[in-house]
Structure 1
Amino acid sequence: MADRSAVRVRDALESLDSLVPLLAANAATVDREARFPAENLDALRAAGLLGLLVPEDHGGQGLGLADLVTVAQRLAGGCLSTAMILAMHCQQVDVLVRHAGPRLRAELLPRIAAGEVYLASVTTEAGTGGHLLSADASLERGGADGAATAEASIRFRRDAPVVTGAAHADGFLITMRDGPDQGEHAVSLVYADRADLDIERYGAWNPMGMRATESGAVRLAGAIRPDQVVGPPGGFRAVALDSMIPVGHLAWSACWLGAARAVFSALVRHLARDGRTDVASPLVRERVARIRLDLELVSAYLGRVREEVERVRARAAPCDAPSLQIHLNSLKIAASELTYRAVDRMVQLAGMSVGYSADSAIPLERALRDLRSAALNYSNDRLWTATGGLCLLDRKVELL
């Protein structure tokens, strides 16, 4: 079994040797045009990476969180937008693997493993903003005569101001209030196939960074079966704490680190061969060291939090301990702020022509714009206040 796992990991990593240069070659174009990198997604499908976390018995690669973190870092070195697209897809896959019912798992996971289904996440809402654990729009249950039956359709309509890749997704995981008479925190997660939805895009997509994620606004309407509710009705909070939050924070942080690491590597090589920069200067060396320290801190904290999540999952325990939630929130905050700071320092060190130009051979300008979004991708302001509340519950102060 261990040998088979090692082979799967090796094959996945070897596929990156050709994928990363492809993503890097397309990155400037898709950023400039603010369009979804469909050609990159096609390459990920062909490489089997949509099924990275799908278990082997459903046709997937059956890999784990350590492999996801590695793959996300490597891909982000080519194109951060594409890496985030895959990271968020894998986040949704993990939710399905751990919380979907038998029928939905049997139908959907093999299609994901075969590269047929790219998943988009629908969690934002005009009334709730980006608050993950609340919802406004509600599910409507019952048959044509109003009587609820086992096979009755569940209907819904949903507006979402930010959905990554909505125009290209094959399936959607959507947060909804469990019913019209339920409170905003009685949230259900539902799966809907693209074929069963009416999808309307509205608004424009012309952001400063992460332009190739094409995270525009959509209106969704459709009907699903009762077994397409993922996790218990109204019980999305448990699903989020167990899967969506930990995998999201790990994968996002890996992407941000991978993007910053790649441009730092390119900058170090540039400094080594560029005769105009005095690499013996104490100021240059101090600036390089400070950049490296930020990346080292993110890398180390990412590794330790990932190990902690893996230990908790190995015990089949919930990921709801205050200390673990603090560590996950701290990872997201630290990764988003330190990687951005590192690239900002790289721009200063590289100077106007290399660091600030959109036409530079080192894409520091794009990395700076992209990483500025990291603190906004589930707002750090919200995480700071949530973490403060958790700190008051963790009276033993269980540090990582």
Structure 2
Amino acid sequence: MSDSRTPSASAPGARDSGAPDVTDALVALLAANAADIDRNARFPVENLAALRSAGHLGLLVPRRYGGAGADLADLVHTAQRLAGGCLSTAMIWAMHCQQVDVLVRHAGPRLAAELLPRVAAGEVYLASVTTGKATGGHLLSAADALERGAGEELLLRREAPVVTGGQHADGFLVTMRERADAGEHEVSLVYADRAALTVEATGGWNTLGMRGTASGALRLSGTVPPDQVVGPSGGFREVALDSMAPVGHLAWSACWLGAARSSFSALVRWLSREQRDRLSSSLVRERLGRIRLDLELVSGYLGGVRKEVEQVRAEGSRPDAAEVQIHLNSLKAAASELTYQAVDRMVQLAGLTVGYSADSPVPLERTLRDLRSAALNYSNDRLWTANGALCLVDRGVKLL
């Protein structure tokens, strides 16, 4: 069930698919910039530039559009590697890839032909606009409505309290209520190029962790042609279930695991180098074993859910069966909670001066703050409630 690929620069899955490889030098660049990005709560401009030039913005773009044509296994592998350098950068990239998958699977022919080659060339970094002042983080609802202008152009006016990397994005995928008299769950997804919009920052981003994602509030306004609706008009639920939710949960979980895994590797190396006298302690070994178990459980479940989504896609079906939804929700909840628990255990094991210090050679303090956001990034409370309801549907209890 586990994804057995190691974090080496020559991972066989990435090589066999033709996907751009994550080099040690790229991870080292992200790691070298991570502390300054966190300290100053600044967007990782130089890291994104490196990802553009390395071809990683086009990882999931099919080869016919000039992309790498990589699969979900490559996405999960790459996300882990990047997060081992800088979790903020990895999450920015992962959410971009989430939007790319949506376009690949649901954009109309003209939009796909015009936009996907630009994404593959590294010209377009995509941001997601799904939060709302009235709806919060509820993915399948929207308050701001589309308006029809002259020539059937769509007029878009949108307020969003959280937009990861929005001020730096080249294009946006935006959820909108289909029309003014539509219900809040009649939601359309619209692509808008930055050049077609007025983008105004309405809130900053000074947070406990994930400080480099620059996820402040935005106000967007502009017009787009009607063929830039992605998926059915008013039918965003179909797009979300097929693409946005499963890829998001896979990619986020991989990022969180990659950050925790990298921290554990650094802690083990530090103990072996600086604290050799402690390694004979049964308590130290027991704590190391518990940390490793947390990471193994996330890795195994991530691999299993990724294979399940791949199978659903290979069969041409949708991942809306109750058991598949339970597995996807459980992955996000388990990964967010267990990786945070693992790093919390690491802090306890490393002690005050190494585990709790921002200047420590083992960056546990930053990772702990970053991972505290994981349970809040699409709140786990919603997922537990949804899974409880889905359990009443899946009475056969089809486990992963």
- Normalising to structure 2: TM-score of the pair? 0.95
1:247-258 mapped onto 2 (5 Å cutoff): 247-258=247-258
- The CA distance in 2 between the partners of 1:332 and 1:277, in whole Å, is 38
1:174 partner SS: strand
2:311 partner SS: helix
C-alpha contact (below 8 Å) 2:19/2:74 kept by paired residues: no
Supply the AA of the counterpart residue of 2:138: H
Alpha-carbon deviation of 1:273?
Answer: 1.7
What is the match of residue 320 of structure 1? 320
1:163 partner SS: coil
Question: Which stretch of structure 1 is more off in the superposition, 134-143 or 249-258?
Answer: 134-143
Supply the AA of the counterpart residue of 1:116: E
Supply the AA of the counterpart residue of 1:123: T
1:12 partner SS: coil
Equivalent residue for 2:45, pick from 38, 44, 47: 38
Alpha-carbon deviation of 1:16?
Answer: 2.5
2:50 partner SS: helix
What is the match of residue 123 of structure 1? 130
Alpha-carbon deviation of 1:6?
Answer: 6.6
The number of residue pairs the alignment matches comes to 389
C-alpha contact (below 8 Å) 1:118/1:170 kept by paired residues: yes
C-alpha contact (below 8 Å) 2:18/2:69 kept by paired residues: no
What is the match of residue 57 of structure 1? 64
1:58-77 mapped onto 2 (5 Å cutoff): 58-77=65-84
Q: Deviations over 1:365-391 (max 9, x none)?
A: 000000000000000011100111111
- The CA distance in 1 between the partners of 2:50 and 2:282, in whole Å, is 44
C-alpha contact (below 8 Å) 1:5/1:63 kept by paired residues: no
- The CA distance in 1 between the partners of 2:306 and 2:251, in whole Å, is 10
Alpha-carbon deviation of 1:230?
Answer: 0.2
Q: Deviations over 1:19-78 (max 9, x none)?
A: 100000000001001010000000000000000000000000000000000000000000
What is the match of residue 189 of structure 2? 189
C-alpha contact (below 8 Å) 1:8/1:63 kept by paired residues: no
Instruction: Give the 3 Å change call, closer, same or farther, for CA 271–240 of structure 1 in structure 2.
Output: same
Supply the AA of the counterpart residue of 1:12: P
The RMSD of aligned alpha carbons is: 1.3
- The CA distance in 2 between the partners of 1:10 and 1:183, in whole Å, is 44
What is the match of residue 179 of structure 1? 179
Instruction: Give the 3 Å change call, closer, same or farther, for CA 107–300 of structure 1 in structure 2.
Output: same
What is the match of residue 9 of structure 2? none
What is the match of residue 148 of structure 1? none
Q: Deviations over 1:60-114 (max 9, x none)?
A: 0000000000000000000000000110000000000000000000000000000
Equivalent residue for 1:12, pick from 17, 20, 24: 20
1:98-177 mapped onto 2 (5 Å cutoff): 98-143=105-150, 151-177=151-177
Say yes or no: does 1:261 pair with 2:261. Answer: yes
- The CA distance in 2 between the partners of 1:6 and 1:238, in whole Å, is 30
1:167 partner SS: helix
- The CA distance in 2 between the partners of 1:112 and 1:205, in whole Å, is 26
Supply the AA of the counterpart residue of 1:191: Y
Alpha-carbon deviation of 1:142?
Answer: 3.8
What is the identity percentage for the equivalent residue pairs of Structure 1 and Structure 2? 72
Alpha-carbon deviation of 1:7?
Answer: 4.5
Supply the AA of the counterpart residue of 1:78: G
C-alpha contact (below 8 Å) 1:241/1:320 kept by paired residues: yes
- The CA distance in 1 between the partners of 2:157 and 2:104, in whole Å, is 26
Alpha-carbon deviation of 1:280?
Answer: 1.0
Say yes or no: does 1:346 pair with 2:359. Answer: no
C-alpha contact (below 8 Å) 2:60/2:101 kept by paired residues: yes
Instruction: Give the 3 Å change call, closer, same or farther, for CA 109–208 of structure 1 in structure 2.
Output: same
Supply the AA of the counterpart residue of 1:95: V
Supply the AA of the counterpart residue of 2:394: D
1:175 partner SS: strand
- The CA distance in 1 between the partners of 2:349 and 2:81, in whole Å, is 24
- The CA distance in 1 between the partners of 2:48 and 2:322, in whole Å, is 37
Instruction: Give the 3 Å change call, closer, same or farther, for CA 167–8 of structure 1 in structure 2.
Output: farther
Instruction: Give the 3 Å change call, closer, same or farther, for CA 228–11 of structure 1 in structure 2.
Output: closer
C-alpha contact (below 8 Å) 1:76/1:259 kept by paired residues: yes
1:221-240 mapped onto 2 (5 Å cutoff): 221-240=221-240
C-alpha contact (below 8 Å) 2:198/2:222 kept by paired residues: yes
2:23 partner SS: helix
What is the match of residue 31 of structure 2? 24
- The CA distance in 2 between the partners of 1:123 and 1:208, in whole Å, is 22
- The CA distance in 1 between the partners of 2:256 and 2:95, in whole Å, is 13
